[in-house]
Structure 1
Amino acid sequence: MDEDIRGGEAAVGRLVQGAPLEEALDVADPGAWTALDVGVRAWAWYRPEDLPDRVWVESGGTAGRGVLRFVRRRPGSAPSGSSVEPRLALALCHPDGRTREAALVRAAEYPALLPLVVVRAADWVTPVRERARKLVRECLDPDTAVSLAPLILRVGRRDRGTYSVELLGEVLRQASPRGRVASLFVHPDRRVRRFAYRLACEAGLLSPGRLARTAARDDDVVIQTLCAEASLAAVREAGDYDDVLEPLLAARNPRARSAGVTALRRAGRTERGVEFLGDRSALVRACARYVVRQGGADPLPWYRQRCAEAGDPALPPGAVAGLAECGERGDAALLRPLLAHPVPAVRARAVAGLRALDVTDVERVRPLLDDAAPGVVREVTAALLPSAALLPEAWLTERLAPDRPRHVRVAAFRLLEARGGIVRLRAAVSLLGDPEVKLRTRAARSVQGWYPALVRDDEEGGELLARARRLLASGC
């Protein structure tokens, strides 16, 4: 686990000076507790005398050893009662397992230290781990479980952290009222939300409709999949899909939509699959084709009919992509007119479709390298890369000019790079002084990785490399 060691050491320094826990670290941040644990061990390497030892812990915090430096009082004096809690927090993170184990005996007296007990429940020392787990089981009630859930799930990723996670689930399942679990559904930590929804699905705490609406609106793909599958499983036997299908089919995210489209077959509504044949998501389109075929129809004629309307401004780009996904090489005749479609997304899908059907016409596609839409140019570049050697060098070099749009210049350089040899080196050297930082950086990497493809390339290449070194040395 990545921990903020510097932040943890800063918290240790404040605790060493006697600051209360609330001032030493952000007690609401689970990362602050795990960082403190790491920070104490780092602190112990160079200032171990600042940390309390087992003698101080077992004596109830009244021993002079390990405390004098901390409280800065005359020898033999004891720390004030308010200083015991921060010192005990340091002891719970001490590198010596015997000190950590002794600190756990007193930790029950200080509820604010329970987060560190949770950390110790995943300790690598067996006696420490077992004592901490016993204490966690005794102290973890529904309210505490909700507040500690982020930390428990964070520590649960460790090798020995599953115990507290299982205990958390056990406590929350028995919680009454169950509204405590509902408070975790809107938690900002996605691990907590995933845990809460997984628990709710297993325990049947949410209705199928609520699960479907959650799958449709949540921005986490794990929760989308979990709730969509749970909602459909809940209504599968009852056969009442009305409350589930509409939220899923109207979802913005493709995970939920694809689950809803697939469920159309079980719901006996395969005719609605046609509505999603032109969906913007490839996953949803694939599910829609499956549903349509299960209903006894063939989706290919639908795609051909839609793409035959080359002048239709309402033609969905997904229909163009769908034709390429299930069509044949002969369907390229329907895609070529779409290269001039007024909608950029349709032009981009047409180029991608020709490439997918392996019928890219270099001369027909090449003019689109100057398209105003970056998405179209990206698809054109991908389609032309295998045929980069057929493109005129001078024509591509013209598109490296500073007055060209950035996406056109990047595409032209990619194609010149793909040609290799001296052509690649010429293009890269010409961009070493370019005002566009990313293009200049890419050109420098290209120069550094250049090698001659032919013997004659080596002669001209030597001069170009010398020029490149001068440019790079001058900071261009």
Structure 2
Amino acid sequence: MGQEAEKGRAAAAALLGGDGTAVGGRLTWTEPKVWTGPETWTGPRAWIAFDKEVRRLQYTAYGVLRSTRVEARLCHADGRVRAAALGASRFPPPELVLIRCTDWVPAVRERAREVLGGAVAKDPEDALPALAPLVLRLGRREHGAWAVQQLEAALGGRDSVFAAWWRPEQLSTTSGPKSLTDAQRTSVVDRLHLSRDLATRQFAARLAVAPGHGIGVRELARRAAAEPDPLTARLWNDAALAALAADGPDDEAVDTLLRARIPMVRAAGVTALRRSGRAREASRHLVDRSSLVRACARWLVKQDGGDPYAHYRALLEGPEPVSPYAVTGFAECAGRPDAPLVRGLLEHPEGAVRAAALAGLRRMNGHVEDAVLIRLLDEPSASVTREASLSLLPVARRLDPDHLAERIAPERPLHIRRAAFRLLRERGGIAGLRASVALLEDSDPGLRETARETVSLWDWQAGLRAGEGDAAELGGLLTRSAHLFGDYQLALLRSRLGPTS
């Protein structure tokens, strides 16, 4: 988002610096039917930043206008200059005219709306998809609702300035087209669905699922399953479920929901199995990677008279390969007496299963000996090491600090260094400080940052009072980390540690 605004500010600086192609070459865009890369599209924040930056930079120290180009005059601080720019023979970028439609000066605002309406009505199929992201962004302003209302009216088949040929006054006459044709609306909405702007895709989805949208349940399910944004996907998903409830079961639509990338949509597909008479299929989704989908599957299995617990146990004890999500699902509905079954999976050949077993045992309050967990810290699987360290956190103070300190050495794998440092920091005391100082220059940025934060916030005097290292050792550690402190703070810390520091 910051890069987008910076692009607008850079274009403003280039325009006022004499670059005649600044706006046309740097900011003006259309929504291409096939996206060829981020360089082909400029978001609304760039135009808003351009407007503000031109107004900030356009005067020299002597009050002389730095540029007479229509783009600069359209962003002028004087409303009379802005109004005159709207009547320029060379039509300015429609994005800037759109911004002026929200102007605080009524005369500028009304003139801009006339100019924009005439420009958009020439070719609404290209203009509306290009302007929609900025329309929706400006809709948050005090006078921004007008453009949103006109866009909604145009795409809803109602009278709109964006469809009136050529002037808005024709909305009150009987001559000239006042609304977009069905083909035009379909073309515009289809392109809005493909926008890179998230708010625009959500806007298009709300239009499409409104009453009378005419989209079939299978298409609604397809869009819900393919949409990467959760909010937009929910709009499609809710519309698909409503269509299923109104029109009856549709196996193809339900199967599409079950294949969705977003867990919420897959969960909706699982619950839709009951109305479709396919409740027996719920057991297939007990091992879904999402806890939400697994919970819905367990509910449906119970509604169908089944026992999710028995199904999970059969998966763990059966001859088929064990899935890590089967282990997680079993832990979600099992109790502490079932811990021995899960504990036996700590020797499973697949790292993901071992990691799931450790996480499941924590959920079930199942005991695992410290020695076993410490051994698992050296696992080649990063997920196992992480889960082992999380299981050891409650008992970190009773662990051998030297054993952990060996595992933060530079030659150790990154996931082992991270796990050992997590435990040393939890353990606290001089062991945690030593580890933090040792990792101040670690090759991993995350470890470096955590180590520097720990050292910067360390209470050196309290450590000395508690007997966690003598003044000489603490002074040496402070010297190694001196670059983290200012001169005054460093001198103050040394004075508190005593003369041996």
TM-score by length of 2: 0.79
1:156 aligned to which of 106, 117, 139: 139
Say if 1:279 and 1:30 are closer, same or farther in 2 by CA, change over 3 A: closer
Q: Does 1:450 align with 2:430?
A: no
Q: Does 1:266 align with 2:249?
A: no
**Farther-moved stretch of structure 1 (427-436 vs 224-233):** 427-436
1:283 aligned to which of 271, 275, 292: 292
For residues 187-226 of structure 1, the aligned pairs below 5 Å read: 187-202=195-210, 203-226=212-235
| Counterpart in the other structure of 2:495 | none
2:95 aligned to which of 87, 105, 115: 115
State, as a whole percentage, how many aligned pairs show the same letter: 41
Say if 1:444 and 1:114 are closer, same or farther in 2 by CA, change over 3 A: closer
| Residue identity in the other structure for 2:350 | V
Say if 1:110 and 1:197 are closer, same or farther in 2 by CA, change over 3 A: farther
The Cα of 1:424 is off from its aligned counterpart by 1.2
| C-alpha contact 1:433 1:471 (8 A) present in aligned 2 | no
- Superimposed CA distance per residue, residues 27-54 of structure 1 (whole angstroms, 9 cap, x where no aligned partner): 1034443232112111145457453xxx
| C-alpha contact 2:331 2:360 (8 A) present in aligned 1 | yes
The Cα of 1:134 is off from its aligned counterpart by 5.1
| Counterpart in the other structure of 1:382 | 390
The Cα of 1:132 is off from its aligned counterpart by 3.4
The Cα of 1:347 is off from its aligned counterpart by 1.0
Q: Does 1:167 align with 2:150?
A: yes
Q: Does 1:342 align with 2:349?
A: yes
**Distance in 2, Cα, partners of 1:327 & 1:228:** 32
What are the ranges of 5 or more consecutive residues in structure 2 without an aligned counterpart?
30-41, 158-179, 485-501
| Counterpart in the other structure of 1:354 | 361
The Cα of 1:97 is off from its aligned counterpart by 3.0
| Counterpart in the other structure of 2:75 | 93
**Distance in 2, Cα, partners of 1:351 & 1:465:** 37
- Superimposed CA distance per residue, residues 244-282 of structure 1 (whole angstroms, 9 cap, x where no aligned partner): 101111223323211211212232322111110111111
1:404 aligned to which of 409, 412, 431: 412
**Distance in 1, Cα, partners of 2:315 & 2:114:** 67
| C-alpha contact 1:9 1:40 (8 A) present in aligned 2 | no
| Counterpart in the other structure of 2:488 | none
- Superimposed CA distance per residue, residues 47-90 of structure 1 (whole angstroms, 9 cap, x where no aligned partner): 57453xxxxxxxxxxxxxxxxx75xxxxxxxxxxxxxxx73322
The Cα of 1:171 is off from its aligned counterpart by 0.8
SS of 1:268's equivalent in the other structure is coil
The Cα of 1:461 is off from its aligned counterpart by 5.1
| C-alpha contact 1:432 1:471 (8 A) present in aligned 2 | no
1:321 aligned to which of 312, 328, 332: 328
SS of 2:284's equivalent in the other structure is helix
| Residue identity in the other structure for 1:221 | P
| Residue identity in the other structure for 1:357 | M
**Farther-moved stretch of structure 1 (7-16 vs 208-217):** 7-16
**Farther-moved stretch of structure 1 (215-224 vs 255-264):** 215-224
The Cα of 1:151 is off from its aligned counterpart by 2.3
| C-alpha contact 1:432 1:468 (8 A) present in aligned 2 | no
Say if 1:320 and 1:459 are closer, same or farther in 2 by CA, change over 3 A: closer
The Cα of 1:314 is off from its aligned counterpart by 2.1
**Farther-moved stretch of structure 1 (347-356 vs 460-469):** 460-469
**Farther-moved stretch of structure 1 (250-259 vs 236-245):** 250-259
| Residue identity in the other structure for 1:410 | R
Say if 1:136 and 1:367 are closer, same or farther in 2 by CA, change over 3 A: same
| C-alpha contact 1:16 1:87 (8 A) present in aligned 2 | no
The Cα of 1:326 is off from its aligned counterpart by 1.9
**Distance in 2, Cα, partners of 1:401 & 1:114:** 60
| C-alpha contact 2:331 2:364 (8 A) present in aligned 1 | yes
**Distance in 2, Cα, partners of 1:192 & 1:153:** 7
Say if 1:418 and 1:14 are closer, same or farther in 2 by CA, change over 3 A: same
Q: Does 1:26 align with 2:27?
A: yes
| Residue identity in the other structure for 1:381 | S
The Cα of 1:102 is off from its aligned counterpart by 4.3
Q: Does 1:431 align with 2:439?
A: yes
**Distance in 2, Cα, partners of 1:344 & 1:459:** 38
The Cα of 1:237 is off from its aligned counterpart by 1.2
**Distance in 2, Cα, partners of 1:295 & 1:342:** 35
The Cα of 1:135 is off from its aligned counterpart by 4.7
**Farther-moved stretch of structure 1 (134-143 vs 364-373):** 134-143
SS of 1:277's equivalent in the other structure is helix
Cα RMSD after superposing both structures? 2.9
SS of 1:399's equivalent in the other structure is helix
Q: Does 1:41 align with 2:48?
A: no
Say if 1:227 and 1:426 are closer, same or farther in 2 by CA, change over 3 A: same
| Counterpart in the other structure of 1:79 | none
- Superimposed CA distance per residue, residues 84-117 of structure 1 (whole angstroms, 9 cap, x where no aligned partner): xx7332222112234334444x16x655432212
SS of 2:204's equivalent in the other structure is helix
| Counterpart in the other structure of 2:175 | none
**Distance in 1, Cα, partners of 2:71 & 2:282:** 60
What are the ranges of 5 or more consecutive residues in structure 1 without an aligned counterpart?
52-68, 71-85
**Distance in 1, Cα, partners of 2:69 & 2:199:** 31
The Cα of 1:415 is off from its aligned counterpart by 0.2
**Distance in 2, Cα, partners of 1:172 & 1:199:** 8
**Farther-moved stretch of structure 1 (208-217 vs 41-50):** 41-50
**Farther-moved stretch of structure 1 (316-325 vs 151-160):** 151-160
Say if 1:193 and 1:463 are closer, same or farther in 2 by CA, change over 3 A: same
**Distance in 1, Cα, partners of 2:14 & 2:62:** 12
**Distance in 2, Cα, partners of 1:465 & 1:229:** 61
**Distance in 2, Cα, partners of 1:7 & 1:50:** 23
| Residue identity in the other structure for 1:119 | I
SS of 2:209's equivalent in the other structure is helix
| Counterpart in the other structure of 1:248 | 257
Say if 1:341 and 1:161 are closer, same or farther in 2 by CA, change over 3 A: farther
| C-alpha contact 1:422 1:457 (8 A) present in aligned 2 | no
| Counterpart in the other structure of 1:394 | 402
**Farther-moved stretch of structure 1 (369-378 vs 125-134):** 125-134
